[in-house]
Amino acid sequence: MSKTFNIKCPSCGVSQDVELHEAVNVVSQPELKQELLENRLNRVECADCESNFRVDMPLLYSDPAHNVLIHWIPETNTLDKEQIIEDFDQSLEQINAMVPPDIEVPNVRLVLTRVELVELIFMIEAEMNVRVVEYVKYSIYTRNVEKILPAKFRLLLNVQDSTDEELCFVIQGVEDHKLGRELRYGRAAYQSMCELYEETPEEFIEMFPGPCISARNLLMEEEVEG
């Protein structure tokens, strides 16, 4: 689904009408999924100064094969993370209340950045347990409190560079978006936690209730509260 928007170039300030996508369905629009993964979706070239930039706007990613809907809602100057999550939770409760009990509700997720959207897509397609992955991130953060500050750095799972023996995590700067060093985590330990999740999922769900499942957000909330 696409729509025409009037966009102002961040470099020269000239406005132009451009067609941008508000939704991606991986079944009917596989080419848009590829554009998203390659950071080409909703990119604009200024007709005046030829500057190339990406327009970040709310996007609905639908994957019927995995029965998942991922909403990407970027933070803005007028809408911060806490307000986005609160509003989304309320909307989701209203939607769930309207769905008949015999209808299977899709697995709904919320992300706030494009890189988290791409990471989540790869995790879902690799059939990884997202809550367990975030628990692993939580452990890495807390064991490296002086080196990996949640306010300054994201931990991203690189599914493609992970192996049968190790999961590959990459540190990314929040402000400059630069990728830093890699951290390796034993896949056997991850699998053990997945087995624990199957036995007692309540603890993981209570820790990461969703739909925005994020170790970084949880740690930042704990820092504010504590």
Q: 89: buried, middle or exposed (CB in 10 Å: 19+, 13-18, 0-12)?
A: middle
135 closest CA partner among 222, 194, 85: 194
Q: Is 88 helix (H, G, I), strand (E, B) or coil?
A: helix
Region of 177 on the Ramachandran plot (φ > 0 left; ψ -120 to 50 alpha; else beta): left
Q: What percent of the chain has pLDDT over 70?
A: 93
For residue range 157-187, what is the model confidence (pLDDT) as tens digits? 999 999 999 999 999 999 999 999 999 999 9
Rg (CA), the chain: 19
46 closest CA partner among 76, 16, 89: 16
Indicate the domain borders of the chain: 1-57, 58-225
Residue 76 confidence (pLDDT): 74
From residue 82, give the alpha-carbon distance in Å to each of 2, 79, 89, 110, 168. Answer: 28, 8, 11, 12, 29
Residue 194 confidence (pLDDT): 98
Q: What is this structure's pTM? A: 0.90
Residue 116 confidence (pLDDT): 96
Residue 166's beta-bridge partner residues? Answer: 186
Band (pLDDT 50/70/90 cuts) for residue 80 is confident
Q: Is the peptide bond before 74 cis (omega within 30 degrees of 0)?
A: no
Residue 226 confidence (pLDDT): 62
